[in-house]
Amino acid sequence: MERYTLIMITVFDLSFGIMNHYNNRRKDICEPIQIPMCQHMKYNMTRMPNLLHHSSQENAKLQIEQFTELVDQKCSDVLLFYLCAMYAPICTVNFQSEPIPPCRSVCEEARAGCEHILNEHNISWPEYLDCSSLPRYDRGVCVRPAAIVPSLGNKDKSKLDSRGPNNKITDFDLSKESYYEDCRCNRKSKLKRKAYRKGKYHFSIRGVVKGQAIANTINTVTRVTVVKVYRSTRVHIQEGSSIELWTNSTCVCPELTKRKEYLIVGYEDLSTQRLLFLDSCLSVKWKNKLDRRIKNWEKKIARSKRNQKCRRKKGKRCRKNRKNNSKRNKTKENRRNKMIRDNSLLANKNP
């Protein structure tokens, strides 16, 4: 009996392992877009399940077709892009395993232009297309029309990404410089203590930019050699190592120029263990005086966090620190009073 049980468990484990392998492999498979409404997008590869949990393009096609008449009304320039980004999300094998959602601003623009038409027919904006759950462009990973590289000729397209058979995106090569030539960034970072503190950034480093490359036609990867780490949280950054900064656009702004040294401040994505450099991040050309300034700011931020924890917890340790501080203050006050008394006595002795 034990022998049969062992065989059954082994067979079950094997089949379960095969299913897991298939599911994991399925997540990494890009497939050509077959939904007619979305076949003219700037990208041509998608992955399933999509953001609305449709397991196949056939299911997604049946659902998206209900918006055909609304798209024909041309009530918004971004409505079709928004719908396709939800029903046939862009495939980004090298960026993250989950589909990349459209940015909240894209949803809000589409809704602002088209919701009134639905209301005229006593139809409300669908809850599953609500904008509040979508990330903002400057604080999360999302896609918008301007972030996608338009279709180029074969000669130019080789600069932007590496593709395998059947036009499937493979890997990119950071050793070869690649960029989107129409990128123009007019924004310069201003390093101010208030912005540094309020940004709630996850990492702050001094580093030298080694190169940039386009990945998946919509993301830029910047390789940086880390000189010094001022702040890092859950994604580990080691001094002297080479790291990759991911930007959810083909245009890196603020600018990071090759072979230049910067103070770089940005965010992290725990789900993919990636460091993100978005529009709201900071990059300032390195000057030696920045070292002392950033260290002081980090000390003050750390002290402020400790005080906030104390106020929330009101624990013994905090009370002890408050007692010690009050003792120090009393000692200082006693010294000051003694000096005043001594000075007054000297004044009385020498009229």
Which range among 97-106, 210-219, 325-334 shows the weakest confidence by mean pLDDT? 325-334
Q: 242 lies in a domain?
A: yes
Q: Is residue 338 part of a domain?
A: no
Cα–Cα distance for residue pair 328/126, rounded to 1 Å = 62
Domain carrying residue 206: 193-288
Which whole number is the average pLDDT over 23-28?
Answer: 46
pLDDT in tens, 192-220: 999 899 899 999 999 999 999 887 667 88
Which two structure tokens, joined as six digits, stand for 245? 């900064």
Band of residue 20 on the pLDDT scale cut at 50, 70, 90: very low
Please indicate, yes or no, whether residues 120 and 47 belong to a single structural domain of this protein.
yes
Helices 79-87 and 104-120, packing angle to 10 deg? 110
Distance CA(161)–CA(165), nearest Å, equals 13
Instruction: Give the Cα separation of 164 and 199 in Å (integer).
Output: 40
pLDDT at 76: 95
Any residues with CB less than 8 A from the CB of 255 and at least 6 apart, and which?
185, 188, 283
Q: How far apart are CA 115 and CA 252, in angstroms?
A: 33
In a domain, 151, yes or no: no
Q: Is the pLDDT of residue 112 over 90?
A: yes
Q: Compute the distance between CA of residue 147 and CA of residue 92 in angstroms, rounded to an integer.
A: 14
Q: In terms of pTM, does the model score above 0.75?
A: no
Which structure tokens are listed for 249?
């656009």
What is the model's pLDDT at position 324? 55
Between vectors from CA 165 to CA 171 and to CA 244, what angle results, nearest 5°?
Answer: 5
CB contact set of 162 (below 8 Å; sequence gap of 6+): 169, 170, 171, 172, 173
Task: Using pLDDT thresholds of 50, 70 and 90, give the confidence band for residue 232.
Answer: very high
DSSP assignment of 182-227 equals T----------HHHHHHTT-SEEEEEEEEEEEEETTTEEEEEEEEE
**Residues 299, 290: contact at Cβ < 8 Å?**
no
267 is written with which tokens?
């965010």
In a domain, 336, yes or no: no
Asked whether residue 324 is assigned to any structural domain, the reply reads no
138 pLDDT more than 60 = yes
CATH number at residue 236: 2.40.50.120
Q: How high is the pLDDT of residue 25?
A: 42
The pLDDT of residue 95: 60
CA distance 300 to 203: 16
User: Taking all residues of the chain, what is their mean pLDDT, rounded to a whole number?
Assistant: 78
Per-residue pLDDT band for 24 (boundaries 50, 70, 90) equals very low
The confidence score (pLDDT) of residue 105 equals 93
Kindly state whether residue 117 falls inside one of the protein's structural domains. Answer: yes
183 is a domain residue: no
**pLDDT value, residue 273:** 85
The CATH number given to whatever domain includes residue 37 is 1.10.2000.10
Q: Look at residue 312 in the predicted model and tell me its pLDDT.
A: 66
**pLDDT above 60: residue 250:** yes
Query: Which residues make Cβ contacts (< 8 Å) with residue 75, sequence separation at least 6?
Result: 113, 114, 117
Output the pLDDT for position 334.
75
From 288, 314, 339, give the residue that closes a domain.
288
Of the candidates 133, 158, 185, which is a domain's last residue? 133
166 falls in which pLDDT band (50, 70, 90)? very low
Confidence band, pLDDT 50/70/90 cuts, at residue 98: confident
Amino acid at 190: K
Weakest-pLDDT range from 34-38, 257-261, 325-329? 325-329
pLDDT at 154 over 50: no
Q: Tell whether 204 and 128 lie within a shared domain.
A: no
Q: Which of 178, 181, 271 is nearest to 221 (CA)?
A: 178
Take residue 113 and report the two structure tokens written for it.
């232009």
β-strand 274-276 against 242-247: which pairing, if any? parallel
CA distance 283 to 218: 21
Instruction: Tell which of 260, 288, 316 closes a domain.
Output: 288
- Cα 105 to chain centroid distance, Å, stands at 16
Residue 294 located in a structural domain: no
- Number of domains into which the chain is organized: 2
- The length of the chain in residues reads 351
Q: How confident is the model over 135-157, as a mean pLDDT? A: 65
Percent of residues, the chain, with pLDDT higher than 70: 70
State how far the Cα of 250 lies from the Cα of 235, in Å rounded to an integer.
24
Integer CA distances (angstroms), 14 to 18, 24, 28, in order:
6, 15, 22
Where does the chain have alpha helices with state H? 2-27, 57-64, 68-72, 79-87, 104-120, 154-160, 193-198, 289-313, 316-349
Question: pLDDT digit string (tens) for 168-187?
Answer: 333 444 444 444 445 677 77
Averaged over 19-41, what is the pLDDT?
Answer: 70
